[in-house]
Amino acid sequence: MKLVKCFSVVLLVQCFLLTDSSVFADTITTSDGSLLKGQITVITPANVSIETEYAGTVTIDAGKISRLETRAPISTKLEDGTIVTGITTINSDGIIVIENETMKMEATVEKLMASWIPENKPPTEAGFPRERRWVYSVAADFTGKRGNSRENGLSSRAEAKLVSDNDELNFYLSVDRADNNGQDTSNEIIFGSSYVSYFSRVVGWYVSNELERDPFESINLRASVSAGLSYWLFNRPDFSLELQSGLGYRHEAFDDGTTEDVPTLDLRVHNHWQVNSWMDMTNTLSFRPSLSNLGDYLLFQDSGIIMPISSSRWSLRLGLENNYANEPAVGRKKLDTTYYSRLLMNFE
């Protein structure tokens, strides 16, 4: 009899071990009825990441998910700062249900900041203070033409940022060179730096400086410095809009030996929009008129979309850049427009 009982116990254990592990997996149901099983690692208002046995980590647009359910406890942070760990369900009505041994709590998805596996590092969207760290990026685009003319072009940019939740120090260098049948048609070099610090969640201050040399605009040297206040109209992980306003000073030395020194206004707009899990859009606009002559101004605009390539390190940027000088050097046009496709690599 004891032998029969032991055999039964062993058989039950074997059946348990042979049971499909997906029975105990987290599940995601999409709006088209597809079902994904695995371990949910991160939930944010924008997307959800799930680790699967068959496809590795899969990231899904949160707007395309009708229901998700975890089998193991995960930690969730809400907008009011509440952090709860427990079995989590999000249903088609947009209600989050978190349950553990001592409590059961409900909230709407609009109040969600982020969810993550307790032993893992919380995602940026959770809003925890981050230590300062260096972030680097390099970018390059090449152009060429053969036939009636022989044209070659290279535009490159390198950037280094020391970032935290409360401030950011940025250094950048860009080089733009091109030739047509052996004759140089572009030879611009720009080096700059900036620092911004926030003394509240929405208000901060900034300083910046930039050096530029562009023989094709008859500029031997353009040096500018500025300082002012920075204000966040929106500052969410998926959408941000920052306004900057201050005063500056601009020195220009031209090929003909003349120089110009003027105090300026400094007005800037920075925008980032995460369109979906595979596309971001950024826009930068700056307007710097002379205080002594408002008709003498520089206007700069750069807009582009960024799409990842195979991994988070590599991406492709497609963009449009305009540089407008209302009072250019004699014989030079007011507007320079650049269309570009740029390969970027980001690393820390």
Residues 141 and 122 in one domain: no
Is residue 2 included in any domain, yes or no? no
Asked whether residue 294 is domain-assigned, the answer is yes
Q: Record the tokens describing residue 253, joined without a space.
A: 């030395």
**Number of domains, the chain:** 2
How many other C-beta atoms are found inside a 10 Å radius of the C-beta of residue 216? 15
pLDDT digit string, tens, across residues 199-249 = 988 999 999 999 999 887 788 999 999 999 999 999 988 899 999 999 999
181 shares a domain with 67? no
Looking at 77, 93, 126, the residue that finishes a domain is 126
Q: Using only C-alpha atoms, what is the Rg of the chain?
A: 27
In this structure, the answer to whether residues 149 and 256 fall within a common structural domain is yes
In a domain, 50, yes or no: yes
Please state, in angstroms and rounded to a whole number, the distance separating the CA atoms of residues 247 and 270. 17
Cβ(12)–Cβ(4) below 8 Å: no
Spatial distance between the Cα atoms of 313 and 309, rounded to a whole number of angstroms = 8
- Residue 144 banded pLDDT, cuts 50, 70, 90: low
Are 190 and 330 in the same domain? yes
* Per-residue pLDDT at 7 exceeds 50: no
pLDDT on residue 24: 60
| Average pLDDT for 282-299 | 95
Which one-letter DSSP state was computed for residue 203?
E
Q: What is the pLDDT of residue 148?
A: 53
- Local confidence band at 14 (pLDDT 50, 70, 90 cut-offs): very low
Q: What is the pLDDT of residues 301-343, one digit of tens each?
A: 999 999 998 766 899 999 999 999 998 877 778 998 888 888 9
Q: What is the pLDDT of residue 147?
A: 56
Q: Are residues 168 and 84 in the same domain?
A: no
Q: Among 77, 108, 126, which residue terminates a domain?
A: 126
Q: Within this chain, do residues 278 and 305 fall inside the same structural domain, yes or no?
A: yes
In this prediction, residues 24-34 reach a mean pLDDT of: 89
pLDDT given at position 146: 57
Q: Note the pLDDT tens digit of each residue in 185-202.
A: 788 899 999 999 999 889
Residue 183: the pLDDT is: 78
Q: Is 116 exposed, middle or buried (0-12, 13-18, 19+ CB in 10 A)?
A: buried
CA 215 vs. chain centroid, Å, equals 33
Count other C-beta atoms under 10 Å from residue 252's C-beta.
21
> Within this chain, do residues 216 and 287 fall inside the same structural domain, yes or no?
yes
Question: Do 298 and 243 lie in a common domain?
Answer: yes
Q: Where are the alpha helices (DSSP H) in the chain?
A: 2-18
Residue 186 contacts residue 217 (beta carbons within 8 Å): no
| 7 domain-assigned | no
- For residue 264, list its beta bridge partners: 248, 290
Mean pLDDT of the chain: 87
- The b-or-e profile of 253-286 (16+ CB within 10 A means b, else e) is bbeeeeeeebebbbbbebbbbbeebeebebeeeb
In a domain, 175, yes or no: yes
pLDDT tier at 297 (50, 70, 90 boundaries)? very high
- The residue from 107, 126, 145 where one domain ends is 126
Q: Is residue 6 part of a domain?
A: no
pLDDT class for 255, splitting at 50, 70, 90? confident
Beta carbons of 175 and 155 less than 8 angstroms apart: yes
pLDDT of 211 reads 97
Domain range enclosing 70: 17-126
Burial of 39 per CB tally in 10 Å (0-12, 13-18, 19+): middle
CA dist., res. 76 & res. 99, Å (int): 11
Residue 3 is predicted with a pLDDT of: 44
pLDDT at 218: 84
Q: What is the pLDDT of residues 56-106, one digit of tens each?
A: 889 999 989 999 999 999 999 999 989 999 999 999 889 999 999 999 999
Domain co-membership, 90 together with 207: no
On whether both 279 and 144 belong to a single domain, the answer is yes
9 in a structural domain: no
Q: Is residue 150 part of a domain?
A: yes
**How many angstroms separate the most distant Cα atoms in the chain?**
108
Q: How confident is the model at residue 150 (pLDDT cuts 50, 70, 90)?
A: low
pLDDT for 163: 92
If asked whether residues 64 and 193 sit together in one domain, one would say: no
Q: Give the CATH number, domain containing residue 285.
A: 2.40.160.40
Q: Is 54's pLDDT higher than 90? A: no
- 50 and 178 in a single domain? The answer is no
